[in-house]
Amino acid sequence: MKEMYPKNGRVILHVDMNSFYASVEMAFDPSLKGKPLAVAGNPQERRGIIITCSYEARKYGVKTTMPIWEAKKLCPELIIMSPHFERYRAASQGMFDILHEYSQLVEPVSIDEGYVDITDSFTLGSPLEIAERIQKQILMQLDLPCSIGIAPNRFLAKMASDMKKPLGITVLRKREVKNVLWPKPVVEMHGVGNKTAEKLNSRGIFTIKDLAEANEIQLKALLGINGLRLKERANGIDDRPVDPEAANEFKSVGNSTTLPNDNSNQHELLLVLESLAEKVAVRMKRKKVMATSVGVTIRYKNRQTITRSKKLLNPISQKEDIYEESKQLFLKNWNGDSVRLLGVTGADLVEKEQAVKQLDIFSYEKDAKKEPLLEALNQLRNKYGKGIIESAVEKAPAKDGQENSTSETSFSKDFLDFF
């Protein structure tokens, strides 16, 4: 069996759950199977937004972020359900428990997908046999479908898992990149979003082959260092290992300040707290991370120091959100005595682009309402340049001023703790 594994390379699986939220609801209530189902915010209201939907619903054209009224128009028989995040978290934990039976090198990248390095798992069978066993075990034990990509690196495994859904298994070898991947539109490549695709298209790069053969100097000028990374991916090159420790890094960005005088004026202390929240937001913006917990530090005039933190429902990075959470913590824990030092910390950081949000009824629709504004801003930036409109946080000065600041940063990927 070892002969079916590369002597010097890796064998990596990308396991991607199919229509996860909807599938979990069907597993919980088998009477829903085979029916068009959507999980949505405010299902009682026509203005609610579709969070995810079953493949039966997708056949009618129902899509994520679509208003419920529009989805119902396309599919009058559509069943709408409110989200049950505890169910999804439990199902996700069950899925990752199964993956750990086949390898200790398991890296979650979201609540419903992860990478598994099975290079040293040859005693369990061939790569294809292991993928088939994983898929069957998840289906039998959890009643959930998944698709699996098998490849020599993470990028190709991710591309492979997207090729057959639901319940597909795809092997993608590096020698097949030119025939299988190169003809595809560049927007279908993992790591290339719509905006990046538009930029590439504007330079005559329309297919993955075009990207693979693109001029490196032009790519770097257009997309920075990410352009060079994307070219490597387009050529099937990806040296990133599967890192199980990536899910266990819990660090933070924080700012604290010693007050000029011991102060017990609530209004003035809240102004200091607001200033600290702004500085934390600025630094998180630069590092392109979001916080899934917020903490405050209070040091009294007698040097007694307390630190309190709160796990958040959703990742945040905006000053207003950080201030509101830290304000609540401060008011709840401040005893009214004079304060010598205040601190605000954003912790359990996640990469902004990969942050998985718990789509509750309120936050999901709030974000969806912002889409038209964000789209308009993107159009202005594309036409007149990135600098034409930027948020106050993006334009903030680089220095933190006179405050004492301490920070540590890393990318937490423990998405299971989001819920």
**Are 213 and 129 within one domain?**
no
- Distance CA(5)–CA(304), nearest Å, equals 60
Q: Peptide bond before 166: cis, by omega within 30 degrees of 0? A: yes
**Are 255 and 390 within one domain?**
yes
- pLDDT recorded at residue 384: 58
Number of domains present in the structure of the chain: 3
**Are 290 and 346 within one domain?**
yes
Q: Is residue 215 part of a domain?
A: yes
Q: Is residue 123 part of a domain?
A: yes
Binding residues for Mg(2+): 16, 112
CATH number at residue 228: 1.10.150.20
The set of residues, in sequence order, having a beta carbon less than 8 Å from that of 315 and lying 6+ positions away, is 290, 291, 292, 350, 355, 357, 418
CA dihedral sign, ordered 309, 313, 318, 324: negative
- pLDDT recorded at residue 252: 77
Q: Is residue 241 part of a domain?
A: no
Q: Residue 278: which of 152, 396, 141 has the closest Cα?
A: 396
**Are 86 and 189 within one domain?**
no
Of 146, 171, 196, the one marking the end of a domain is 171
Binding residues: 16, 112
SS3 139: helix
CA distances from 150 to 126, 195, 216 (A): 11, 28, 29
Residue 345 identity (one-letter amino acid):
T
Q: Is residue 54 part of a domain?
A: yes
- Within 54-165, strands assigned E span 79-81, 106-110, 113-117, 146-151
**Are 148 and 42 within one domain?**
yes
Q: Is residue 177 part of a domain?
A: no
pTM above 0.75, yes or no: no
CA distances from 319 to 77, 207, 295, 391 (A): 43, 40, 14, 11
Question: Which one is catalytic: 25, 56, 107, 113?
Answer: 113
Of 192, 207, 234, the one marking the end of a domain is 234
- pLDDT recorded at residue 412: 30
- Distance CA(293)–CA(204), nearest Å, equals 43
CATH number at residue 156: 3.30.70.270
**Active site (annotated) includes residue 268:** no
**Are 7 and 107 within one domain?**
yes
**Are 13 and 117 within one domain?**
yes
- pLDDT recorded at residue 37: 97
Domain ranges, residue 208: 182-234
The tokens of 304 are what? Answer: 């007694």
Q: How far apart are the first and last CA of the chain?
A: 40
pLDDT values of the chain reduced to their tens digit, one per residue, 419 residues: 777 788 889 999 999 999 999 999 999 999 999 999 999 876 665 557 898 899 999 999 999 888 999 999 999 999 999 888 889 989 999 999 999 999 999 998 888 999 999 999 999 999 999 999 999 999 999 999 999 999 999 999 999 999 999 999 999 999 999 999 999 999 999 999 888 999 999 999 999 999 999 999 999 999 999 999 999 999 999 999 998 877 555 467 888 888 888 999 999 999 999 999 999 999 888 878 888 889 999 999 888 888 898 888 888 989 999 999 999 999 999 999 999 999 999 988 877 765 554 444 445 555 555 555 555 655 665 555 544 554 444 444 443 333 333 333 322 333 444 33
Q: Residue 350: which of 270, 410, 263, 271 has the closest Cα?
A: 410
- pLDDT recorded at residue 169: 98
Q: Is residue 47 part of a domain?
A: yes
**Are 154 and 8 within one domain?**
yes
**Are 367 and 259 within one domain?**
yes
**Are 151 and 102 within one domain?**
yes
Q: Is residue 243 part of a domain?
A: no
The set of residues, in sequence order, having a beta carbon less than 8 Å from that of 216 and lying 6+ positions away, is 227, 228, 231
- pLDDT recorded at residue 83: 87
**Are 125 and 48 within one domain?**
yes
**Are 187 and 275 within one domain?**
no
Of 141, 171, 201, the one marking the end of a domain is 171
Q: Is residue 240 part of a domain?
A: no
